[in-house]
Amino acid sequence: MIGISYHKDYDKYDLGTDHPLIGDKPTKFMKFIEEKKIIEYCDIFTPKKADVKYLLKVHTKEYVKRIEELSKTGGRLSLDTPAPKGIFEYACLATGGTILAGVKLFDKYNITVNPLAGFHHAGISSSSGFCFFNDIAVVIEYIREQYNIKKFMIVDLDVHHGNGTQEIYYSDPTVLSISFHQNGNTLYPGTGFIEEIGEGEGKGFNVNLPLPPGTGNLNYLKAFDSIIPALSSQFKPEIIIYQSGVDTHHADPLADLNLTYQTYYNLALRMKEISNSTCNKLLVLFGGGYNSTSCIKSYYNIFCGLLGEKGFIKENVFPDYSGGKIDKLIDEIKTQLSLYWNF
């Protein structure tokens, strides 16, 4: 069984009809897995809003207060991130959903999912990229405190670099943060280059793979298989957080990596195998994606992969448009990390 943390008010995390982030995906996903008759393999839990005291373990008091104030009147957090009325409540609810999903991993569940989550652009005292609170970091700090867990691994496969998460854990060797994303020279937020490997005690524990536009399925999976299994087997995490953004899909309007549906199934299978071989605790956060139809089908395929169900959706595979850059990139990242990890 998979545990799902879901609230009917998730859809109210909506930044407007003229904005890429429209809040229809969580409920559409739940209806889709019901139609496909795999919801019977799930237990559904209703989260509560995260307490501010847990937000403050990651964010500054001034930052949290600013969002709370913007939420009263409506306003703008940053150039690309409007703050509509009530957003503080809904952002707290989404974060509370991630906390609940994390807690359930210490109950009887080996895999849990939050379909409104993965807000990796939120940093310590600022944010953009449609994010308000970094639920990834909040759940890490909650679990660290409540369950005395000491080693966390983040695998962030959203098309955008997880710059907020990187900022929070850049010097922390207890968090191995891995981000696969489209190259920052071609896409927001313009960060996440291979040289960004952490600092101080955290050096070597921040891993970026900036992929070229047109990467495609086979190259993406090759990069995954070349980097992530080796790191996970050496780090030996006690819990894995899988930010499974699907804005890498070819139909997404904001990016250009050209993945297709079956890749999400294959990635989820791999993440489940890595979890099974290390900690048997996999927290799955459905991250970005801005084409509603492709998002729901991609999330469904992730879910099928987590369950090992064969009824996943397929489509034609795109050729490699990356100009043969992947092998060179993999070699470069291994060189960057060679002082810290064996490949």
Q: Which pLDDT does position 65 carry in this prediction?
A: 98
- Tell me the percentage of the chain whose pLDDT exceeds 70: 100
> Is 80 exceeded by the pLDDT of residue 319?
no
d(Cα 266, Cα 308) in Å, to the nearest integer? 10
Q: Please name every residue paired with 319 in a beta bridge, in sequence order, or none if there are none.
A: none
State the Cα–Cα distance between residues 296 and 298, nearest whole angstrom. Answer: 5
pLDDT at 308: 93
The span from the CA of 265 to the CA of 114, in Å, is: 17
Global pTM value: 0.97
The H-or-E segment that residue 220 falls in is: helix 216-235
Predicted confidence band of residue 318 (pLDDT cuts 50, 70, 90): confident
Q: In the chain, how long is the greatest CA-to-CA distance?
A: 52
Residue 136 exposure: Cα atoms within 13 Å on the Cβ side: 36
| Residue 284, pLDDT score | 98
Question: What is the mean predicted confidence (pLDDT) over 113-136?
Answer: 97
E strand map for 183-317: 206-211, 239-243, 282-285
Q: Which run of H or of E encompasses 69?
A: helix 61-73
Q: Render pLDDT for 154-180 as a digit per residue (tens, 0 to 9).
A: 999 999 999 999 999 999 999 999 999
Averaged pLDDT, 11-35: 92
Q: Which of 7, 59, 120, 121 is catalytic?
A: 121
Average pLDDT of the residues in 303-318: 92
Residues in a beta bridge with 78: 81
Tell me how far CA of residue 113 lies from CA of 2, 23, 241, 243, 287, in angstroms. 7, 17, 10, 10, 11
pLDDT, tens digit, 9 for 90 and up, residues 52-82: 999 999 999 999 999 999 999 999 999 899 9
- Per-residue pLDDT for 321 more than 80? no
Note if 121 is an active site residue. Answer: yes
Confidence at residue 22, expressed as pLDDT on a 0 to 100 scale = 85
CA distance 73 to 258: 39
